[in-house]
Chain A
Amino acid sequence: MTIDYNELKKGGFLRQKQKDNFIVRFRCLGGNLTAEQLRNIADLADKYGKGYVHVTTRQGAEIPWVHLDNYNEMKSEISQLGLTTGTCGPRIRTVVACPGSEICNFGLMNSRETALELDKEFFGREVPMKTKLAVSGCPNSCAKPQENDIGLVGAVEPVLDSEKCIGCGVCQKVCPNQAISMVDGNPVIDNAKCLYEGNCIASCPTDAWQETRRGYLLYAGGKIGRKPRLGQVIDKFIPAEQAVEAVKSVVKAFETLWQKGERIADTLDRVGVEAFQEEMHRDAQRGADSI
């Protein structure tokens, strides 16, 4: 039997160091697995693996020790069970997400829902180099979007209605970046220092702090690996319904500007942020023209 390793990698089958043994990677959409999916994965691990599952750092589940002889049988069983396998190689990978505003006290955006939309649009898509996406519901960044090639962070921008303010000073206390100071008993915000997590809005007893804008901060150029670096903000306050388009413009700019061996971080470094943003907007403009 001839083995097409690339085809196997595409489908989430990763070659182990032991001859003819594979790791089968599953993906959990937005970080969730149903109880039924967990039971099915457990059964598969018993039947085809060695009875254990490895939990990956990017919200995946892997069954190691699957023998090549069982590949076809396992593959058809996986598809019958309705499970989805992961991918690897130069593709868009599993979209990681935190629980987000659906259940989290701090969540500003429904990160899981956005992750599902991104997954539907981009998962497995071939790109010049591996590209990882993560979505966090707020700037606490639990899904580590800044470590990903493209990241989204839920954010809210506050504005003060001074008529309602009673000058209690709680906003100054709860601000994580000392963006708010009390001047003559009134809060004054330094917008450049605002982290957009909305503590002032959430804590204000009189609703004097209100939100003006809510959406995602768009990060690009994060990666870990041997030379780790954090992504940087390249756009702000993207509404949830425009998240797919925003990510698409980053991917397209990357595809256009890419040179051999580069991940988004490297391309960004070489061309500079402004040139990258310009290319993103050029793409968006082309898209608009073609409609």
Chain B
Amino acid sequence: MADNISVKDTLDITKDVCPITFVKTKLKLEQLQQGEVLEVILNDGEPIQNVPRSVKSEGHKIISIEQIGEKYRLLIERGE
């Protein structure tokens, strides 16, 4: 379902740990315009527990979350 969404940029945070995972995601989102979509690849465990929550509380919109093996692919639309 997320395949027809135009992704503006991609970020791989699978080598990072909290809070760098969120900081990198936040900084990347700030480079986007409102409405543009960021793809984030993150690990299972602690990142998937914290990143969606933090992204949501910062006012961005999570469009989809998809599990790919041991990793997750998160599509985030930049909020205001």
Q: Answer whether A and B are interacting partners.
A: yes
- Residues of A bordering B, CB below 8 Å: 105, 166, 168-170, 173-174, 199, 202-206
B49 touches A205 (CB 8 A): no
Interface bits B39-56 vs A (CB < 8 Å: 1, else 0):
000001000110011101
Chain B contacts for A168, CB-based, 8 A:
64-66
Chain A contacts for B53, CB-based, 8 A:
174, 199, 202-203
Per the bound structure, the CA–CA distance linking A40 and B49 in Å amounts to 43
The B interface, classified by DSSP as helix, strand, loop or mixed, is mixed
- Residues of B bordering A, CB below 8 Å: 1, 44, 48-49, 52-54, 56-57, 61-67
A173 touches B64 (CB 8 A): no
Which single residue of chain A is at the shortest CB-CB distance from B65? A168
CB distance from A71 to the nearest CB of B (A): 49
A-B contact pairs, 11 of them (CB 8 A): A166-B1, A166-B64, A169-B67, A199-B49, A202-B57, A203-B49, A203-B53, A203-B56, A205-B61, A205-B62, A205-B63
Which single residue of chain B is at the shortest CB-CB distance from A166? B64
Q: Which of B1, B61, B65 has the most CB of A within 10 A?
A: B65
CB distance from A170 to the nearest CB of B (A): 5
Chain A contacts for B66, CB-based, 8 A:
168
